[in-house]
Structure formats: structure tokens, C-alpha cells
Homo-oligomer: A and B are copies of this chain.
Amino acid sequence: MAEQHPRHRAPHRDDFPGEGAARGTARLEAFADAVFAIAFTLPIVEIKVPHGDEPLTAQLAELWPSYLAYAISSLVIGIYWIQHHFSGAIYRTSGHWFNVATVLFLTAIGFIDFPARAFAEHLPDPDGRGPAAIFFVAGLALTGVTWWIKWKVGRSRGHVDARLEPHYVDCLNRRYNVSTVLLIVAAALALIRWEVGLALASAVTLFYLLAPPTPVYTEEAPIVEGEESA
């Protein structure tokens, strides 16, 4: 079969000695996907069915900050999941320190629910709004930094698919560098004027709703996972 599809040649032990037991990315992605899915879905338990004296319609309407918290969490975690899923096609192996960096990133993903909720629930409160926004922007910046660390560890330890065109990998690298700097700037700006910091952090995050650049390979390579053997 190696003769039939030489371009599919899998990396063997000799090609990638790695640290610890280097493995493909399948199970790392599976663990990450599960953490994403839980962080994505958990916030719903924070919304409690109201049983007050007012008409139920009014009580349900008054819960809008909770709905907003759920929507913000879903949006942020959804965007990160989409980028993480995309990067599953960029990395080709995993190793010990890449796992450690991924766990650090997932710690931030699991945490972001809390600043998002703090921000949404304090939005109607003139005194709390500012501090809550700063806290949320700091959470976004922290998450961005852990993503960047994961990228740097993955790249420096040879986990990025070696068949990708170097200029393509450089392009991703520039993107992640610029986004991370902007998120840190946003967190700093938020301390001065929270509206500006929040706007910048939101813009950087929403930018990743756009499709990432299609990977460019130096040689022919399969792009559709799970069908490589057909």
C-alpha cells in the first residue's frame, strides 16, 4: 500500500521519536472536544426557573442577562472550538509537552464561562458593569494567551504537519501573534476605558468567526480525515 499511495506514508517511530509516548492527535482532540462540549453546555444550569409573584412572562423577560451570559459563552467557546477543530488538520502528532499546553488551554476554556457570566449578570448594574467588563476582557486575553502557548509548543516540538507549505504555517503564526498582542492590549485598555478594551477584545474574537485560510501543502496530501485509506 505504501507503493500505491506514497504520499500517505505515516510518520513512524524513527521519524518522530517525541517525548513520552508520542501519539496521533485523535484522543487529544477527543478529550479537548469533550471539555469544549461541557464548557459550552454547562452554563444552562445557572439559569433557574423563576417562581415569583410577578407574571411569569415578566419574570422570564427579566432573566435576559442570564440568556445573554449563555449566548456569550456559547459564542466564545464555539469560536474557539471551530478554530481548535480546524487546527486538528494542522497538527499531525501530539507529545507530552503539547498535551500539557493543551490542558492549560482547556483550563482557560473551562474558566471563561465565569467571567462571561459575571459580565452579563452585571451589565444592568451601573457600578458593576465596568469591573465585570474588565474581568471578562482579562478572561478573553488569558484564553488567547494559552492558545498562543499551545501553538508555540506544538510548532517548536514538531507537531505541525510537515507537509504544510512553510509560508502557510508562517501566516498562521503571524495571525496568532497579532491576535494575542491585541488581546493583551485590550485587557490593558480595559483598565483605562472598559468600553474600548471590550470592543477590541470582541473584535479580535469575532474575527475568528471568519474561515481560516485553506491549508496549502508542499506535496499532495489528503484533506478529508477518515477517508485516507479509500
Contact = CB atoms under 8 A, between A and B. Distances in A.
Interface of A: 1-2, 4-5, 8-13, 16-24, 26-31, 33-42, 44-47, 49, 51, 55-57, 60, 70-71, 74, 78, 81-82, 85-86, 88-90, 93, 95-97, 99-100, 103-104, 106-107, 110-111, 113-114, 117-118, 121-122, 125, 127-128, 131-132, 134-135, 209, 211-215, 217, 220-230
A143 to B, nearest CB: 13
B214 A17 contact: yes
A14 to B, nearest CB: 9
A35 B41 contact: yes
A122 B54 CA distance: 13
Given A97-B211, A117-B49, A224-B16, A33 B27 contact: yes
